[in-house]
């Protein structure tokens, strides 16, 4: 007898292929889960349509980050007048999305909460109490790394938590490398914010550029920290060695990675923010290049130290300088195939299979 397809409701205020972060994870996950369940989205889908999915709320306008909280509120208000008891299970992109189920549904179906790291930090007392209530009444948690799981275990020791890494798009074809003469190119692809540690990479390049004038550092991405980085680059007179590329398209991003020899993102933990995993390291690996990360947050889940990259301490310019130099001199060399294979372990299909096993027992 054929097994009945379960009705799954996914709640997310933003699902997108190109915006990045959690929205990107949800996009690839929903595409795969739709093949094995009757899937409905409560939330907003940007960029592209998803086949075989019912969307309860639609968003056709341009994505605006300042609208993020308003979208969540709209989901909560929408849920007051709806009955979700027909769904077998509910997957919430974050604990705040679960408010729609935990408080506005008299007969609520079992709900599962995805946990990413940042949302567990620096909250007010009332927000923590609200979060505790929602988490304690959930069926299970899905953490994006062992670090995030450990944080959950400390906060909610009786709550079951499974680790499932975020997916990446492994269907991307590696672009041909563009000629760059004899230059050694280091790259960072990231939002430009202090926590990403780009300032330490700039300082390391400042030291190395005196010995290796052919060293180039390309910083891809936009953000509020750009002005600070511009001043830092100017103070070291590194305009010929360091390029602030700015925001780029998905295709341009992978071309930048394909043109590079080494990816660097020395993130560090702050009071209110942490790298819960680090998809950017895997995207670099997908292009066959090794990475340098830190022993911070969930980064050790994304980087296999000594195989797909190297892990160093937070804010350690000396270690960063020495490690980059070893790559320049080929004292450190990693197999491109190993890097690519590790990236493929995070295909949306493989990640979705793990969710299917946890949610539906498939």
Span of 31-40, 148-157, 227-236, 329-338 with lowest mean pLDDT: 31-40
Q: Is 45 domain-assigned? A: yes
Look at residue 173 and tell me if it is in a domain: no
pLDDT at residue 1 greater than cutoff 50 = no
Q: Do residues 122 and 262 share a domain?
A: no
- Please tell me the predicted confidence (pLDDT) of residue 56: 84
Note whether 239 and 218 are within 8 A (CB): no
13 backbone φψ class: left, alpha, beta (φ>0; ψ -120 to 50): alpha
Q: Is residue 179 part of a domain?
A: no
Dist CA 247 CA 243 (whole Å):
12
Residue 362: pLDDT over 70: no
Cα separation of 14 and 8, whole Å?
17
Residues 259 and 128 in one domain: no
* 163/238 same-domain check: no
Statement to judge: residues 34 and 140 lie in one domain: yes
**Alpha-carbon span 181 to 172, nearest angstrom:** 26
Domain count, the chain: 2
Domain membership of residue 247 (yes or no) is yes
Q: Which strands make up the sheet holding 161-163, listed edge to edge?
A: 53-55, 38-45, 7-15, 89-92, 111-115, 140-143, 161-163
Tokens of 256: 């930048």
Please, where are the H alpha helices in the chain? 21-33, 68-80, 99-102, 125-136, 146-155, 198-211, 226-235, 250-258, 279-286, 299-302, 317-328, 336-344, 348-360
Q: Which range marks the domain in which residue 192 is found?
A: 184-344
Cα–Cα distance between 123 and 105 in angstroms, integer? 25
Q: What is the CATH number of the domain that holds 211?
A: 3.40.50.2000
User: Looking at the structure, do residues 214 and 118 belong to the same domain, yes or no?
Assistant: no
Look at residue 178 and tell me if it is in a domain: no
pLDDT in tens, 302-355: 999 999 999 999 999 999 999 999 999 999 999 999 999 999 999 999 999 999
Question: What pLDDT digit, counting tens, does each position of 73-107 carry?
Answer: 889 998 988 999 999 999 999 999 999 999 988 88
Tokens of 361: 């027992």
| 208 and 334 belong to one structural domain | yes
Q: Are residues 334 and 356 in the same domain?
A: no
């Amino acid at each position: 007898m054929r097994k009945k397809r379960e009705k799954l409701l996914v709640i997310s205020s933003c699902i997108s292929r190109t915006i990045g972060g959690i929205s990107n994870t949800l996009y690839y996950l929903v595409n795969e889960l739709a093949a094995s369940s009757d899937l409905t989205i409560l939330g907003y889908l940007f960029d592209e349509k998803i086949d075989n999915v019912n969307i309860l709320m639609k968003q056709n306008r341009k994505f605006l980050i300042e609208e993020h909280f308003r979208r969540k509120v709209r989901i909560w208000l929408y849920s007051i007048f709806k009955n979700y008891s027909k769904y077998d299970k509910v997957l919430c992109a974050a604990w705040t999305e679960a408010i729609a189920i935990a408080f506005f549904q008299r007969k609520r179906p079992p709900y599962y909460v995805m946990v990413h790291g940042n949302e567990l930090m620096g909250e007010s007392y009332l927000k923590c109490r609200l979060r505790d209530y929602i988490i304690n009444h959930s069926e299970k948690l899905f953490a994006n790394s062992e670090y995030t799981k450990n944080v959950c275990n400390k906060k909610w020791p009786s709550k079951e938590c499974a680790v499932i890494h975020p997916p990446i798009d492994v269907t991307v074809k590696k672009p041909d490398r563009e000629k760059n003469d004899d230059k050694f190119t280091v790259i960072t692809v990231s939002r430009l914010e202090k926590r990403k540690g780009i300032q330490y990479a700039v300082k390391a390049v400042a030291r190395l550029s005196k010995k290796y004038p052919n060293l180039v550092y390309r910083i891809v991405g936009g953000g509020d920290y750009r002005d600070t980085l511009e001043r830092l680059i100017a103070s070291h007179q590194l305009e010929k060695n360091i390029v602030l590329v700015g925001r780029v398209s998905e295709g341009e991003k992978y071309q930048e990675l394909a043109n590079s020899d080494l990816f660097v993102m020395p993130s560090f933990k702050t009071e209110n923010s942490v790298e819960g995993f680090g998809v950017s390291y895997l995207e670099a690996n997908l292009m066959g290049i090794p990475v340098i990360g830190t022993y911070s947050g969930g980064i050790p889940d994304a980087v296999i130290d000594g195989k797909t990259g190297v892990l160093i301490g937070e804010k350690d310019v000396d270690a960063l300088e020495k490690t980059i130099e070893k790559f320049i001199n080929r004292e450190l060399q990693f197999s491109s195939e190993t890097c690519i294979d590790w990236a493929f372990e995070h295909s949306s299909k493989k990640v979705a299979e793990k969710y299917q096993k946890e949610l539906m027992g498939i």
